[in-house]
Amino acid sequence: MASERLVRLLGLLAGGEGPNAVRLCVVAAEVTRTTGAGVMLLADGRPQASVCTTDEVSSLIEEAQYTLGEGPGVDAHRLGMVVSEPDLAAAGGSRWAAFSGRAFGGGARAVFGYPVRLGVVRLGALNLYRDEPGPLQGEEHVNALVMADIAARAVLAAQAGATLRAFHIDIDEDLYLWGAVHQAAGMVSVQLGIPVAEALVRLRARAFLTDRLVSDVARDVVERRLRFDSEE
């Protein structure tokens, strides 16, 4: 039964149109009956890149986790288990105090994180959201687990230059890195004379303190509307 499900989902992925990474998220949302989906890669517990998203809200959910370092995907990756919040309104600020407000304000009413991993190798998370409260149950939950497994295999296959049956991700073309953020970090690193890793922390801190997304702050730096100095 498990192999039949895998074959069926791979068939849905291979039969669609558009970039493979985008189809990965589109199919994940369809088979879990959620409003949108995203797959992000993490390293050392922090989001590093977004493989795909389906809409503006799913993009917001991933970037909010990148900016704030918290949320269902971050927890799913860190804990190695499914993390769900079927009712963001009911949870209020008791869970992910900063992230929940961003996600709810963007239109999400329920969020779910599924670890993207193979064995002990943790790669990232599958993020799912709904625009109305409600848990993932039965087939929806099982399909989410399989899609997270497919995402892990696709990412590893891409990095190895291999393919996953009829479906593969082209890392160079499909993977969306937060390029402007890394460019801005390089500029802040020069401005302050600090390592790039510390410059990234400064960017995230500025975004958090000004209640903005880190990509927005980064664009201001890259376009020279914002400069960091030693007093930042």
Q: Is the pLDDT of residue 81 over 50?
A: yes
What are 85-122's pLDDT values in tens digits?
999 999 877 889 889 999 999 999 999 999 999 888 88
Domain ranges, residue 132: 2-176
Residue 232 lies in a domain: no
Q: Which two tokens stand for residue 187?
A: 């500029």
What are 172-192's pLDDT values in tens digits?
444 455 667 778 888 998 889
Residue 227 lies in a domain: no
Task: Check if the beta carbon of residue 154 is closer than 8 Å to that of residue 169.
Answer: yes
Whether 166 and 184 map to the same domain: the answer is no
Residue (of 123, 140, 150, 122) closest to 35 by Cα position: 140
Whether 206 and 103 map to the same domain: the answer is no
3 state SS of 84: strand
Task: Check if the beta carbon of residue 35 is closer than 8 Å to that of residue 129.
Answer: yes
pLDDT confidence of residue 22: 82
**CATH code: domain of residue 191:** 1.10.10
Q: Which of 176, 191, 214 is the last residue of a domain?
A: 176
Residue 108 lies in a domain: yes
pLDDT confidence of residue 111: 97
Residue 149 lies in a domain: yes
Residue 230 lies in a domain: no
Residue (of 219, 181, 148) closest to 63 by Cα position: 181
pLDDT confidence of residue 174: 44
Residue (of 65, 83, 62, 85) closest to 133 by Cα position: 85
Which range (8-17, 172-181, 211-220) has the least confidence? Answer: 172-181
